[in-house]
Amino acid sequence: MNEEQNQFTREAWQKNAAGWDEKMGTEGNDFFKQLQFPTILEYMGFSTGLPLLSKKVLDIACGNGILARKLATLGCKVTAFDFSSNLIDLARGYGEVGIEYKVLDATSEQDLGSLEPAIYDVAVCNMALFDIADIDPLFSALPRILRPGGFFIFSLLHPAFNNSSTIKMVEEYEQDGKLINKYSLKIDRYLGQYSSLGLALSNQEHPQYYFNRPLQYYFQLGFKNGFIIDKFNENSLEHADTKRALSWGGNFAEIPPVCLVRMRLDG
Ligand SMILES: C[S@@+](CC[C@H](N)C(=O)[O-])C[C@H]1O[C@@H](n2cnc3c(N)ncnc32)[C@H](O)[C@@H]1O
């Protein structure tokens, strides 16, 4: 792993913590509300409408604790961690009960080793694996941290369509006497792993690294560590941000900017 990039990313999230909290608050942005949270709830078995009180959940890279709070409200006992102490302070500021917050680095075997073994029914990582400089230590630690048969649920910026090489395009042409706008994506990198500076929020002051990996990287790392995949979704927004013709949804409603995976420890 590139320790320098990991430190740079931590410093960026430290500096962007207040802006991130302001944007996400308690309800989150459209991506959280429409593309991630409903599918995470479905994967956790909440679709029956019954709170699963016994669920013990580990929220990995929890940011301002938005997901941890929602799950705690539904009756889960949550341990949530992030490597940005500023984000953890902001998360604690919401004062929710039923959540234990920790400052831990998901790339550190030592930090992951401090988590109690075999007590979690579900580990969840919402929109963060591509922010983590090295995810191998996390995948190696999960079989110890989860109870047998436990689940690992994660969402990603779709590695095939929404990666650091993605360019959104609009072209204008005439067809059958009509003027047509064609919206499409140009992508020139997918299979290789690479990092690139980017912005999680459009008005973000300090860029952070994105760690681009193809889908097979996540899947194969799961298989290697004893997981099977039993759910997979590719989600797209129906409606675009009306102020931006090239925003996700709307003209790009056929393209999923986000995907979600549920892995289960086999056996
Ligand atoms: C896009 S935010 C997502 C936050 C939260 N999961 C949510 O759904 O709002 C990515 C988060 O990953 C965290 N992060 C990045 N690298 C990390 C690492 N090595 N260990 C722990 N957290 C990390 C950042 O501090 C940030 O809070």
Q: Which residue, by CA, sits nearest to atom 8 of ligand 1?
A: 126
* Nearest ligand 1 atom, CA 200: 1
CB 157 less than 6 A from any atom of ligand 1: no
The pLDDT score that the predictor gives to residue 198 is: 92
Cα(52)–Cα(24) distance, rounded to whole angstroms? 25
Half-sphere exposure of 240 (CA within 13 A, CB side): 15
Q: Which residue, by CA, sits nearest to atom 14 of ligand 1?
A: 61
* CATH class of the region 3-265: alpha beta
The pLDDT score that the predictor gives to residue 255 is: 96
Q: How far is the CA of 45 from the centre of ligand 1 (A)?
A: 24
Q: pLDDT tens, position by position, for the chain (267 residues)?
A: 689 999 999 999 999 999 999 999 999 999 999 999 999 999 998 865 555 656 899 999 999 999 999 999 988 999 999 999 999 999 999 997 889 999 999 999 999 999 999 999 999 999 999 999 999 999 999 999 999 999 999 999 999 999 999 999 999 999 999 999 999 999 999 999 999 999 988 778 899 999 999 999 999 999 999 999 999 999 999 887 777 779 999 899 999 999 999 999 987
CB 84 less than 6 A from any atom of ligand 1: yes
CB 88 less than 6 A from any atom of ligand 1: no
Q: How far is the CA of 106 from the centre of ligand 1 (A)?
A: 9
Q: How far is the CA of 82 from the centre of ligand 1 (A)?
A: 6
Domain ranges of the chain: 3-265
Q: How far is the CA of 263 from the centre of ligand 1 (A)?
A: 20
The residue written with tokens 């983590």 in the block is 132
Is pTM beyond 0.85 here?
yes
Closest-CA residue to 211 (of 157, 144, 154): 157
Q: How far is the CA of 150 from the centre of ligand 1 (A)?
A: 22
Cα(267)–Cα(253) distance, rounded to whole angstroms? 38
* Nearest ligand 1 atom, CA 63: 27
Q: Which residue, by CA, sits nearest to atom 9 of ligand 1?
A: 63
User: DSSP of 34-93, one letter per residue?
Assistant: IIIHHHHHHHTTGGGS---TT-EEEEES-TTSHHHHHHHHTT-EEEEEES-HHHHHHHHH
CB 71 less than 6 A from any atom of ligand 1: no
Angstrom CA distances, 62 to 11, 22, 81, 176, 257, stand at 16, 15, 6, 52, 20
The pLDDT score that the predictor gives to residue 49 is: 55
* Nearest ligand 1 atom, CA 13: 25
Kindly state the tokens that stand for 55. 């669920």
Strand ranges for the chain from DSSP E: 56-60, 77-82, 99-103, 120-125, 146-157, 167-175, 178-186, 194-198, 208-212, 227-235, 258-265
